[in-house]
Chains A and B, each alone.
Chain A
Amino acid sequence: GAGVSQSPRYKVAKRGQDVALRCDPISGHVSLFWYQQALGQGPEFLTYFQNEAQLDKSGLPSDRFFAERPEGSVSTLKIQRTQQEDSAVYLCASSLERGGTEAFFGQGTRLTVV
């Protein structure tokens, strides 16, 4: 399809395990966002890319969280040494322009840390 694609859809990790979440944005979209959504809450901003440049990582909760978008398309969010509080849905969104308005979201990756 032509939408934002995320994989895996579901991930169960043992505490302390490293995980990698993938996002395929809509082709040609300049802006890419990662959000974290806890149960019953709105999405919380994690980080923003403009093409391959990570311009804002102010929302990353700790240095265990790392994101990259090396070629300006696919992005990976990596979480090292997962903790139970990392359990959430991780949403990726892309928009066409640098100052683009509408952001299109992927279906998210539901991470459960046990």
Chain B
Amino acid sequence: RKEVEQDPGPFNVPEGATVAFNCTYSNSASQSFFWYRQDCRKEPKLLMSVYSSGNEDGRFTAQLNRASQYISLLIRDSKLSDSATYLCVVPQRGGYNKLIFGAGTRLAVHP
């Protein structure tokens, strides 16, 4: 089993839709989690951090379920500019935060 698993998508949604992605992880010792966004042929950039039960930033909400070992990302009122790949990231603890990435979920928002 991979350490971080995501549904690759693609998720094709109309503007204004609400869309949710899930990510499961295997390392139960992980304490913090991240969602990174990667545009086509660009580098990953931090979107949100998730430290406890969840985090909300405008249209984006990230939630953590430790018992089931999954993290979710909810995007409300989707914009065309939200089209990207969303990478779930779990630091592997061991003296430093080695970031373990999922394969990413592709989102395409259409008019």
Contacts of B44 in A (CB 8 A): 43, 91, 105
**Complex alpha-carbon distance, A111 and B94, angstroms:** 30
Chain B residue total in the interface (Cβ 8 A): 24
Interface pair B34/A105, CB less than 8 Å apart: no
**Complex alpha-carbon distance, A95 and B99, angstroms:** 11
Interface pair B101/A55, CB less than 8 Å apart: no
Chain A residue total in the interface (Cβ 8 A): 26
Interface pair A101/B103, CB less than 8 Å apart: no
Contacts of B99 in A (CB 8 A): 33, 45, 93, 103
Interface pair B97/A106, CB less than 8 Å apart: no
Nearest opposing residue in chain A for B100, CB measure = A45
The A93-112 residues at the B interface (CB cut-off 8 A) are: 93, 95, 98-103, 105-108
Q: Does A41 contact B (CB under 8 A)?
A: yes
The A38-62 residues at the B interface (CB cut-off 8 A) are: 40-45, 48, 50, 55-56
The listed residue with most A CB atoms (<10 A of its CB), out of B4, B87, B101, is B101
**Complex alpha-carbon distance, A55 and B91, angstroms:** 16
Given the interface pairs A48-B98, A105-B44, the reply to whether A42 lies near B49 with Cβ below 8 Å is no
**Complex alpha-carbon distance, A103 and B97, angstroms:** 9
The listed residue with most A CB atoms (<10 A of its CB), out of B8, B87, B99, is B99
Given the interface pairs A42-B102, A43-B44, A44-B101, the reply to whether A55 lies near B95 with Cβ below 8 Å is yes
Nearest opposing residue in chain A for B99, CB measure = A103
**Complex alpha-carbon distance, A103 and B46, angstroms:** 8
**Complex alpha-carbon distance, A48 and B87, angstroms:** 20
The answer, among A45, A99, A101, for a CB contact under 8 Å with B34, is A101
The listed residue with most A CB atoms (<10 A of its CB), out of B4, B42, B95, is B95
24 pairs of residues in contact across A and B, judged by CB atoms under 8 Å: A33-B98, A40-B8, A40-B103, A42-B6, A42-B101, A42-B103, A42-B104, A45-B98, A45-B100, A48-B96, A55-B95, A55-B96, A56-B94, A98-B95, A98-B96, A99-B97, A100-B97, A101-B49, A103-B46, A103-B97, A103-B99, A105-B44, A105-B45, A107-B42
What 4 new A-B contacts, CB under 8 Å, besides A42-B87, A100-B97? A42-B102, A50-B96, A93-B99, A105-B44
